[in-house]
Amino acid sequence: MTTDHETLERIKTAALAVGVRIDVPTLASLGGADALTVHEYATTGGITLELDDDVLVNAPFDEPFCADSPLELSTVDGQLALVLGERHAPVRRVVPLPGYLDAVDVDGRPVADTAMSHADRIRVSPITGCAYDCRFCDVARVRYQPRPIEQILAGIDVALADAVLPTRHLLISGGSPAKGAAHQQAFEDVCLAVIDHVHRHDPEFEVDIMLSARPDGPEFVDRMVDAGVAGFSINLELFGEDARSVLPLKHRFTREHVGPMIERAVERLGRTARVRSLLIPGLEPIADTLAGVEWLAERGCSPVLSPFRPARGTAMASRPPVAIDDLRLILDRARTTLARHDVPLGPRCVACQHNTLAFPWDLVRYVSRPSFVSIR
Ligand code: SF4
């Protein structure tokens, strides 16, 4: 018997909001914290668990706020399960970390600095640090330094060959390039080189780009789609007035460019979650997050609800995580809005839902989705 959807939704919502408690014997039986997570991004710094019906969840477990979580990873009837009060969901698999965490490239640089696999996706970081200063983000405090293209392609090759965690698509991700034309062009050159390199390896291996909006957004979209990119994530993060103080530089330099860029991307790639935008529930009033959902849906863009996680060392490290009930309310209202606009909740990939508030059934009617189970 599989877990009912209501139970899966309640358990994943709790996990994303406040994480999971893992007692010492259970943690030891899983190999210890170092075998379960790498704290390289706040939103992926948890244990990734596969539940029934292709539901994946990335649950923080070693952050201070997890100690008060009502959710526990425990053993029920001899099987590992997530337990929330009277409800529980068996864990089908603990999704492993990639097998190349200790690998270095020919110049001795750690591969995992450049390429990192999560579930079925390779994330590539063309830049160390970021030109912007979002207060919740742990990338912002790292010194800004673009990486050489050769280093990026070498890292991708190692990730593509990894047998521990096979992957089927790739995301070119942040930080954001600086405003100057040379930095913007260098980022574009990296995108084109990565798309070409990956498609030489496998023409079906999809490449998406997550980036801040640019003044030349519509033209950039055209050039990337013509080169074979499969999708974009053009993130708002916050929609309301709080964006001015939480993401000061990003808001100032990119906000006016988001709409035209998203609209062009939807014209080229359609309304089936190939164009998406992250919103972060927990960093602004619920009404502002929901207004952002509406604004994106009106344009055919899929919102991705990526709940706030206080990240170590950031200006918002001591801010409390989002309340479970708030997340549930946002999910319910977002679904109503999206149904009205006939746009799916993102992301498009069920495995990449692991750290977002979305479920495989949110994609029904919009995406013929390969199961996470089928790719391994
Ligand atoms: S633009 Fe993205 S990577 Fe840069 S500081 Fe903001 S959230 Fe972090």
Instruction: Locate the domains of the chain by residue range.
Output: 5-94, 111-356
Would the pTM count as exceeding 0.85? yes
Q: CA-CA distances (angstroms) from residue 359 to 6, 42, 56, 141, 362?
A: 11, 21, 8, 32, 5
**What is residue 103's predicted lDDT score, i.e. its pLDDT?**
93
* Separation of CA 250 and ligand 1 centre (Å): 8
Top-level class of domain 111-356 = alpha beta
Mutate to test the pocket of ligand 1, among 123, 214, 250, 253 (most ligand atoms within 8 A of CB): 250
Q: How far is the CA of 278 from the centre of ligand 1 (A)?
A: 12
Ligand 1: residue of 134, 244, 254 to mutate (most ligand atoms within 8 A of CB) is 134
* Residue 54 backbone class (left: φ over 0; alpha: ψ -120 to 50; beta: rest): left
Q: Measured from the CB, is residue 253 less than 6 Å from ligand 1? A: no
pLDDT value of residue 34? 85
Percent of all residues in the chain with a pLDDT value above 90, rounded to a whole number:
86
CA distance 276 to 115: 22
pLDDT reported for residue 261: 98
How far apart (Å, rounded) are the C-alpha atoms in residues 330 and 325? 9
For the segment 202-255, what is each residue's pLDDT rounded down to a tens digit? Answer: 999 999 999 999 999 999 999 999 999 999 999 999 999 999 999 999 999 999
Question: Exposed/middle/buried for 19, CB within 10 Å: 0-12, 13-18, 19+?
Answer: buried
- Expressed in angstroms and rounded, the spacing between residue 51 Cα and the centre of ligand 1 is 30
pLDDT at 107: 83
Sign of CA dihedral 135, 139, 141, 143: negative
**HSE toward the beta carbon, residue 108, CA cutoff 13 A:** 0
Contact 250 CB / ligand 1 (< 6 Å): yes
> Residue 301's closest CA among 269, 349, 253, 335?
269
Q: Contacts from 291-295 at CB under 8 Å and sequence distance 24+?
A: 291/239, 291/240, 292/236, 292/238, 292/239, 292/240, 293/333, 293/334, 293/337, 293/338, 294/337, 295/239
Query: Mind listing the pLDDT tens digit for each residue in 5-59?
Result: 999 999 999 999 999 999 999 999 999 888 888 877 667 779 999 999 999 999 9
Q: Is the pLDDT of residue 376 over 60?
A: no
pLDDT above 80: residue 371: no
**Rounded Cα distance, 53 and 366, in Å:** 17
Phi-psi region of 263 (alpha: psi -120 to 50; beta: other; left: phi over 0): alpha
Type of residue found at 267: E
Q: Which atom of ligand 1 is nearest to the CA of 235?
A: 2
Q: What is the rounded average pLDDT of the residues 153-168?
A: 95
pLDDT at 6: 97
Q: What 3-state class would DSSP assign to 92? A: coil
pLDDT band at residue 373 under the 50/70/90 scheme: low
For the cut 60, the answer to whether the pLDDT of residue 375 exceeds it is: no
Ligand 1 atom nearest to CA at 137: 8
What CA–CA distance (Å, rounded) separates 258 from 211? 10
